[in-house]
Homo-oligomer: A and B are copies of this chain.
Amino acid sequence: MTTTEAEGTGAATPTGAPETPGAVPAGTAEHAVHGYHDHKQEHLKRLRRIEGQIRGLQRMVEEDQYCIDILTQVSASTKALQSFALQLLEEHLRHCVADAAVRGGDEVEEKVAEATRAIARMLRT
């Protein structure tokens, strides 16, 4: 698995190797391995915990638990989702956006605009 290689590039070659598109090996296209890849197991663990929270909510509804207690649990789940999203976003900025900046050209503009739209969606929910 060459994950670390792909990941490692990051902003790591600002001075050295000439970074031309042609130099990127076929298999490691920009999106092939993302910033969050490093923490894949951690992410899956988080998501499984959130899945458990959602099942817990179903149990609470089935058992006719008190509305406010259910709302508290919903807030905990949305908080956990937001926290997951923030970590993903941080890794995305650190890798995808920073890499685009290092590569230069228009790409960074697009990446930043795309990330900003994602943040706007997070804010609106």
A: interface residue count bin: 35 or more
Contact yes or no, A81 B74, CB < 8 A: yes
Are A88's CB and B102's CB within 8 A? no
Question: When chains A and B are docked, how far (Å) is the Cα of A95 from the Cα of B119?
Answer: 17
In the assembled complex, the Cα of A74 lies from the Cα of B13 at a distance in Å of: 28
Interface residues as binary, A69-89 with B (CB distance below 8 Å gives 1, 0 otherwise): 011101111110110111011
Q: Which residue of B lies closest to A41 (CB)?
A: B61
B103 touches A71 (CB 8 A): no
- Contact check, A101 vs B70: say whether CB atoms are below 8 A apart: no
Q: If A54-B51, A72-B118 touch, does A88 touch B104 (CB 8 Å cutoff)?
A: no
CB pair A12–B104 under 8 Å, yes or no, is: yes
Within 8 Å CB of A51, what residues of B?
A: 51, 54-55, 58
